Amino acid sequence: MPAHSTKASSSDAANSAESVSFNRTMNMPCQREKYEDTQALAANIDPRLPVLQSLGKSGCSLIFGGSLLSLALLSFLVFLWAAKGPADGQYAPWVWQMIMLNNWATRAVTLSSLLLRTTTAAQATICTSFVAAIWVERRSIRLSQVAHVSIARSVNGGPHELVRELLSSRSWRLAISLESILLLILALTTLGIQFSSTILLADFSNTTLTSLPERITRNVGLSKAQEPILQQLSGSQWVLFQGPNAPFGEAESDMTAKPNESGVSDTRPQRRAFLPFEKPERASLRSFKGPTLTSSIQTTCLRPALHATVAFRAYAPGRGVGSLTGNINYQETFASAAIDPLPPACMEVQNKTICLPTGFNCTIPSVTWSNDIWPTALCIIRADGVQISDVYPYQEQENIYAPTSFIYLAFASNANFDGESVEDSTLTLGDPFAYGEWNSYQVYTGAFLNISLCFSTVNTTMVEVEMSTTTALWEPDFQWNANSSTPSTRTIQKMLGAGKPGEDNGDRGILSIHNIERPLPLSTLDTIDAGSALYAINRSEYALWRGPVNVLMSYTSDNQSLLTCSTCSMNGWSPPADAAALFELIINDNGQAAQALEAFLYMFWERYYYLILPLFDVRGYIDVVSSTQSVIPVYWGGLVAILSIVSIDIMCVLALTFLYLLKVRYTRQGNYWYAVSQLLSESTRPILERHGDLGDHEVSQLAHCKDRLVVIRRIKPTGRVECDEV
């Protein structure tokens, strides 16, 4: 017992001495230590550790693998933003289309942002340990901070921990060191990346995309069962109903109907493919390959050689109408138009001879009030004895100047037959003035009647058509200005190619035909046998052709013209208001009668096609690409911001990694014991041994007066790596 008591007394005395020594040290007058950069000690430090040993496997994976992952995620985001390309994503990569059309884009961005946040946060944590290692090995830090900074080499909560230590270090030289600046930038970029999902999704908006190709079946033709209903539509009343101005397919062409030097205006065959869909499907269509009906219309207009008389007749006080009666000299007409060889006046058709009609009796338009619009009219001249069965087989003939063509006289006039300006009388037309495809005759002073002789052929066929568009299709409306009592057909003119020259099919809102296969492959129709398919093709072609022809033939009776004027005084037949206004406004816009007549006729066939479309009962296989609404990245501001932030973050990570490998010798990333063992030194032992129950704040207060600058390095006498005073 005495011996034991003696030993205890000796130990207490030693501890008391150490305590007195520590307290004396802590109670010395406060002196500010001068900051010293330990770069000067570089010659005395150990050689660099191998990269794998210094960084550790997990460190290498996080730094280099994480950087590659971040770059891959950025590339993926750029792909989502940039791969759409033109034409609503129609030619975008298949992967991009799958993501966008299935509305996976927002999920993909959210998951990518999550991976970015996780990767950059992990890299920020390990880079914090790099900075802590540089500080304790190559810089000098306060004794009160060495425990936190040393342990941060192994365990830390991210850059904000060292930023807090940096602000409390009271060392501006440490604050302006390169690794400290990089750490501050890294802290900001890591914070910004936490909001990456919100920033990126701000670029999203609802837009139109092109869907993936699919095969559908639609009714494209008529069977024999529909014949009774078609017979009920053989009259002319159907044409008065307003129909759609639906988009169609047309081959790209720079052709114009501008008259040549001889006054001949020729549209050449204009083949257009109808769309066997209702309006919603038509509006969303982007690509079509399959069977459908088409129309091919050619019109030619030239200056006529006439011998005619104008008659003015009053039908009420102050109200009058005009008519034109006479004969056409075709030989002189064709000769003056330099048509060589001269077309024959007659031809043999079905065991009978039919000739070009020479005589005509037509009504002509009269201006109702003074304006800039010349009212127009269209008179159909029919050869004697010509029947529909005579005309149909010749609608693809090369000679358009044949008796089997449809023949018209087009009129445009600024004459006023109302009031007292002109009395009931007759007037023989004198010598004309040539103007394009028109001959202009003076009716009275300041009043003229322009006349053009036109020929047309119309052919309807069922073919396999391949057509597409890179822009949205649209259906213009026929508009009427109630204030001025004038129509507006500008959008319809544009769609039909009668607007400004040089507009392509995309500008016009229609599809471009790339290929036509004729005869139609029977495999494209869903029929029982080849005979049924052939019947459906022939029946559909003839039904579409005959409906409008019946109407045109009926217009040749009673010696009256078609009223193709919006405001005029005239006796005649009333065609659809939009078709009449279209004819009048095209002539007043560019004076091209052939172009106006071609557009006028097409509207007849289009109207009839969509009238009988519900009767179609023969199905065909169609490959289509349509458009759909989807939420996709439209703007670039958010992506550019994230690209910038992540790029800066990666550069900071790589720069700090380089500094760490260059400067650090005693830190092994991913190890913990060294971080604790290297704290043991003469400077820290009193704190570690005597104040294990104190918090950081109490220790900082005790060390405040003698808060020396320390650094971790190898001590020569002992060879140990420990915390040493600078």
Q: How confident is the model at residue 710 (pLDDT cuts 50, 70, 90)?
A: confident
Distance CA 153, CA 372 (A): 89
> How much is the average pLDDT of 10-34?
42
Classified as helix, coil or strand, 374 is: coil
Q: Which one, of 473, 471, 489, 468, lies nearest residue 280 by Cα?
A: 473
- Pick from 721, 715, 713: which is nearest to 36 by CA? 713
Instruction: Give the whole-angstrom CA distance, residue 409 versus residue 403.
Output: 15
DSSP secondary structure string for all residues of 328-362: E-HHHHHHHTT-SSPPPSEEEETTEEEE---EEEE
Work out whether strand 447-468 and strand 285-302 pair parallel, antiparallel, or are unpaired. antiparallel
Q: Tell whether the model's pLDDT for residue 95 goes beyond 50.
A: yes
| pLDDT number for residue 411 | 96
pLDDT at 203 over 80: yes
Dist CA 589 CA 331 (whole Å): 31
DSSP 477-517: PPEEETTTTEEE-HHHHHHTT-SSTT--HHHHT-EEEEEEE
Predicted TM-score of the model (pTM): 0.74
pLDDT higher at 317 or 3: 317
Q: Residue 73: its pLDDT value, please?
A: 97
Across 671-683, average pLDDT: 75
Q: Is the pLDDT of residue 316 over 80?
A: no
pLDDT surpasses 50 at 394: yes
What is the CB neighbour count within 10 angstroms for residue 118? 13
* Mean pLDDT along residues 173-201: 92
- Give the length of the chain: 726
Instruction: Say which residue, 25 or 162, is predicted with more confidence.
Output: 162
- Return the top range by mean pLDDT from 131-135, 273-277, 523-527: 273-277
Residue 492 tokens read as 């319809």
- Residue 42, pLDDT > 50, answer no
When pLDDT is averaged across residues 350-376 and rounded to a whole number, the result is: 87
Tens of pLDDT, residues 397-449: 788 999 989 999 999 999 887 654 556 678 899 999 999 999 999 988 888 99
Q: Which of 251-255, 358-362, 452-456 has the lowest mean pLDDT?
A: 251-255
Element (DSSP H or E) covering residue 414: none
What percentage of the chain exceeds 70 in pLDDT?
85
Burial class (CB in 10 A: 0-12, 13-18, 19+), 325: middle
pLDDT in tens, 491-533: 899 999 887 877 889 899 999 999 999 999 999 998 778 888 8
Share of the chain above pLDDT 90, in %: 47
Higher pLDDT, 495 or 552: 495
At 58 the pLDDT is 86
Task: Indicate whether 51 pLDDT > 80.
Answer: yes
Q: Residue 17's pLDDT is what?
A: 41
Between these two residues, 562 and 15, which has the higher pLDDT value?
562
Quick one: average pLDDT of 161-184? 82
Q: What is the mean pLDDT of residues 329-339?
A: 95
Using pLDDT thresholds of 50, 70 and 90, give the confidence band for residue 8: very low
Question: Environment class of residue 630 by beta-carbon count within 10 Å: exposed (0-12), middle (13-18) or buried (19+)?
Answer: buried
- The residue among 280, 275, 271 whose CA lies nearest residue 514 is 271
End-to-end, the C-alpha distance of the chain in Å comes to 47
